[in-house]
Structure 1
Amino acid sequence: MAAIAYKQASCVYEGADKLAVDSLDLDIQDGEFIVLVGPSGSGKSTALRMLAGLEEIDGGAIEIGGKNMVGVPSKDRDIAMVFQNYALYPNKTVGENMGFALKMRGVSLEKRQARVAEAARLLDLTEYLDRKPGKLSGGQRQRVAMGRAIVREPQVFCMDEPLSNLDAKLRVQTRTQIAALQRRLGTTTVYVTHDQVEAMTMGDRVAILKDGKLQQFAAPTELYDHPINAFVAGFIGSPAMNLFTVPVVSGGVKIGNSTLPLERAQLTALAASGVDTVTVGLRPEQLAIGESTGEGLSVVVDLVEELGNESYLYAHFGSGDIRGLDGTAASIVARSPHRAPARIGDTITLNKQDGLVYLFHPQTGAKI
C-alpha cells in the first residue's frame, strides 16, 4: 500500500493541439479509494495510464510511496490494472488466469495456489477455479480479473471502467462488491468511470475532470452540496441540477413572471460581482408541485418518469426567454416523493422548497 501524488502532472499526445492532462495536482492518501470521473475526452483514463506507466509523463511528476515514477517502467511500479475488457486467457482455467502473473514471477506452486485460493474465497469464485472463462458470466469474468490483480498484492489498484460491459443490475451489485473488497484489503485504489452515480457511491473522494483540467477534488457529499462551478453542479446529481441564466432584480432573480428571493449574503455577493444576469442552480428535490393558481414557476410538463416510490417531471417554461447553459430554451426537472399528480401537457406551478439556491457567474461558471 502507498500514497500517490500527482504534482503538476501533464500529458500531451503527438499531433494534439492541447494537453490531454493539464497540470494535474492530486494528493491521494494511503488506502483511499479515489474515483476519476468526467465526460468523454476529459483526460481521466489518460491520468490513470500515466500512473500505471502506460503513458509518458510530459510535465510534472507522479509519486507512489514518495518515489518519483517519471521514467520508471510499468512493470517496476508495483501496480495491478483491471480493464474494461477483462483480458483473460480463454485457454486457461480461472485458477490459472488468476495465478499467471505470479507464475511468470517465479513464485512457487504452493504459494500461488494459496494466494489464488484466498482471492477466490474473497470473490466467491472458489467453485469456478477449474472452469474456463468462456463458461462464466460477465460479472464472474470481471471478478476473475479482480482476483488476478488481488493475488499480486500490489501497492496500488488501477481500475479503468471495469463495469462498463455489465448490465445495469449487475453493475450495481458488482460496484458494491468492489467497494467492500477494497475497504477490506485497504489497498490504495484509483478508479476511472464516466458514470457519476458510480463515482458518488464508490469513492472516498472524487476528482472531476474536464478538458484535461481538474475541476474539483472532494468527498461525494461535498461535491453535491458545494460544487465549485456550474460544470460540477450540472455533472454531479441524477437527475442533474437545473441550471438557467436569468436577470438579477431587486431582492433576487427574475425567473419568468416570478421573482426568486435570495439570502442577504447572496445578494451582497451578486452586487460585488457586478453581473446583471446570473446562472441559477436548483436541485430537482428542491422543487415541489404547488397549486396551479399559486405563486411559483409556471411550467409545461414534457415527460413524467414514474419510479414507483417517486417520480420526476421534466418540463419547459411557458416563457421562452429563460436560457440554459448552452443558450437554448431552458428545461427544468422536479422530483415528487409520490406518484406525480400531473400528465404530459399539463401546466403546473413549481415552488421552491427549503435549500440553498446556487449562483454561478454567467461567463466563467465560477460559484458566486
Structure 2
Amino acid sequence: MADVVFDQASRIYTAGAKPAVDRLDLTVSDGEFVVLVGPSGSGKSTALRMLAGLEEIDGGSIRIDGENMVGVSSKDRDIAMVFQNYALYPNKTVGENMAFPLKMAGVEKSARAEKVREAAAILGLTDYLDRKPRALSGGQRQRVAMGRAIVREPRVFLMDEPLSNLDAKMRVSTRTEIAALQRRLGVTTVYVTHDQVEAMTMGDRVALLADGKLQQFATPADLYDRPANAFVAGFIGSPAMNLFTVPLTERGVRLAGHELALPRDVRATLGTHQITEVTLGIRPEQWTVTDSGTEGIPARVDVVEELGSDAFLYGTLAESTGDLSDDSAVLTGSGQDAVVVRTGGRSGTRRGDRIALTPSVEGLHLFHPESGERL
C-alpha cells in the first residue's frame, strides 16, 4: 500500500491552450478510497491516466509512496487499473483472465492458481472460474476485472468509471461491493466517476473537478454541508441545491419579493465584501411547505416526482399568489424563479397546486455573485 500525491500536476495537450488538468494538488492517504468526480471535460479521467502513466505529466509531479512518477513507465508503477469496458479476453476463462497478469509477470502456475482461488473467493466467483466472459452478467464481468487487479496485490488501485456499463440496479449493488471490498483489502484506491451519487456513497473523500481545476476536496458530508463555491453547491446533491441571485437588504436578502432576515454576524460578513447582491443557496429539504395563503413565499407546483418515502416538488416562486394565476406565466424547470422542494411521500400535493414555502435560515448558503466563492 502507499499514499499518492499530486503536486501541482498539469497536463497540457496543446501549447497555449487551457490545461486539461491545471496544477492539481491532491493527497490520497495510505489505504484511503478517494473519488474524482466532475462533469464531462473536467479532467478527472486525465488525472487518473496521469497517475497510471498513460498520460504525460507536463508540469509538477505525481508521487506514489514518496517516489516521483515523472518518467516512470506504467508497468513500473505497481498499480492496477480497472476500466469501464472490463477489457477481458473473450477466449479465456474467468480463471485464465484473472491469472493473466501473473502469468506475464512469470509467476509459477501453482502460485497463480492459489492467488486466483483467493481472489475468486473474495469476489464470489469461485463457481465461475471455468466459464467464458460471454456466459457472465455485466456485474460478474466487472468483478472478474477487479479480480485480475486484486491478484497483482498492487500498491494502488485505479478505477475509471467501472460501473458505467451496468444497469441502475446493478450499479447500486456493485458499488456497495466495491466499497466493501476496498475497505477489506485496505488498498489505496483512486476512483473516477461522473455520477455524484456514486461519489458521495463510495468515497472516504471526494475531489470535485471542473475545467481541469480542483474545486473542493473533502468528505462527502463536508461537500454537502459546506460547499466551497456555487459550482460545488449546484453539482453535489440530487436534486441539486436551489441557487438564486438576490439583492441584499438592511435585514438580509430579498427572494421573490419576500425578505429573509439573516443573523447579525452574517450581515456583518456580507458588508465587508462591498456587494449589493448575493447568490443564495437552499437545499430542497430545507423548505417548509404550507398551504397557499399562509405565511411564506407563494409558489405553484409544476411537477411532482413521487418516490415512495419522499417526493420532489418542482415549481415556480412568485411575489404574490396573483402572479401564478395564469398558466402561461409559469416557468417549467429553469430560470431565476424555478424551485425544487423535498417533502414526505404521499403528501397529497398535486401539479397545479398553490403552496407557500419558508426556508430554514440556519440552512442558507451564501456565495459571491461574481466569483462564486462561499461567503
Q: TM-score, length-normalised on structure 2?
A: 0.94
1:362 is the counterpart of 2:360: no
1:188 aligns with 2:188: yes
The match for 1:114 is 114
Matches within 5 A, 1:179-328: 179-319=179-319, 328=335
Matched residue, 2:357: 350
Offset of residue 318 of structure 1: 2.6
Q: Is the 8 A contact 2:244 2:280 kept in 1?
A: yes
Give secondary structure in 1 for the equivalent of 2:272: helix
Distance of 1:131 and 1:14 partners within structure 2: 45
Q: 1:54 to 1:16 in 2, by over 3 A?
A: farther
What SS is found at the alignment partner of 1:96? helix
Q: After superposition, what is the alpha-carbon deviation per residue over 1:339-368, rounded to whole angstroms, capped at 9, x for unaligned?
A: 233211222111123632100011110011
- Which stretch shows the higher mean deviation, 211-220 or 6-15? 6-15
SS of the equivalent of 1:100 reads helix
- Distance in 2, Cα, partners of 1:90 & 1:14: 37
What amino acid does structure 2 have at the position aligned with 1:348?
A: I
In 2, distance between residues paired with 1:14 and 1:272? 41
Q: Is the 8 A contact 1:313 1:340 kept in 2?
A: no
Q: Please state how far the C-alpha of 1:15 moved relative to its aligned partner.
A: 6.1
Q: In 1, distance between residues paired with 2:301 and 2:226?
A: 29
Q: Is the 8 A contact 2:291 2:354 kept in 1?
A: no
Which residue number in structure 1 is paired with residue 344 of structure 2?
337
Per the alignment, residue 50 of structure 1 pairs with: 50
Shift of 1:169: 0.6
CA distance in 1, matches of 2:14, 2:372: 31
Q: What is the percentage of aligned positions where both structures have the same residue? A: 64
- Asked whether the 8 Å contact 2:256–2:337 carries over to 1, the reply is no
Q: CA separation in 2, counterparts of 1:337 and 1:261? A: 27
SS at structure 2 position matched to 1:351: strand
Which whole-Å CA distance do the structure 2 matches of 1:231 and 1:62 have between them? 26
User: How many Å separate the matches in 2 of 1:25 and 1:78?
Assistant: 22
> Normalized against structure 1, the TM-score is what?
0.96
> What secondary structure sits across from 2:91 in the alignment?
coil
Letter of the 1:157 counterpart: F
Residue 32 (structure 1) aligns with: 32
Contact in 2 for aligned 1:288/1:335 (Cα 8 Å): no
Q: Which amino acid is 2:263 matched to? A: E
Residue 16 of structure 1: how far off its partner (Å): 7.0
Cα distance in 1 for partners of 2:273, 2:287 equals 27
What is aligned with 1:149?
A: 149
- C-alpha distance in 2, partners of 1:13/1:328? 36
Q: Residue deviations 1:267-296, cap 9 Å, x none?
A: 111111111111000011110211311221
Q: Deviations over 1:155-192 (max 9, x none)?
A: 00000000000011110000000000000000000000
Structure 1 CA distance, aligned partners of 2:53 and 2:27? Answer: 18
Report which stretch shifted further, 254-263 or 174-183.
254-263
For the residue of structure 1 that corresponds to 2:17, the secondary structure is coil
Shift of 1:328: 3.6
Deviations 1:173-220 (A, max 9, x none): 000000000000000000000000100010000000000000110111
For residues 172 and 16 of structure 2, the distance between their equivalents in structure 1, rounded to whole angstroms, comes to 36
Contact 1:312 1:340 in 2 (8 A): no
For 1:51-70, list aligned pairs within 5 A: 51-70=51-70
For the 8 Å contact 2:38–2:193, the answer to whether it is kept is: yes
SS of residue paired to 1:86: coil
Contact 2:299 2:355 in 1 (8 A): yes
Task: Give the SS at the match of 2:124.
Answer: coil
Q: How many residues get paired?
A: 363
Tell me the SS of whatever aligns to 2:63: strand
The residue that corresponds to 1:169 in the other structure is: 169
CA distance in 2, matches of 1:256, 1:81: 50
User: Would the aligned equivalents of 1:159 and 1:191 in 2 still touch at CA under 8 Å?
Assistant: yes
Q: Deviations over 1:1-25 (max 9, x none)?
A: 0000000000011367210000000
Which one-letter code corresponds to 1:109 in the other structure?
K
- How far off is 1:258 after superposition? 1.1
Deviations 1:225-284 (A, max 9, x none): 111100011111111111010111121111112111111121111111111111000011
**Which segment drifts farther, 289-298 or 233-242?**
289-298
Residue 248 of structure 2 aligns to a residue whose secondary structure is strand
Q: CA RMSD in A?
A: 1.4
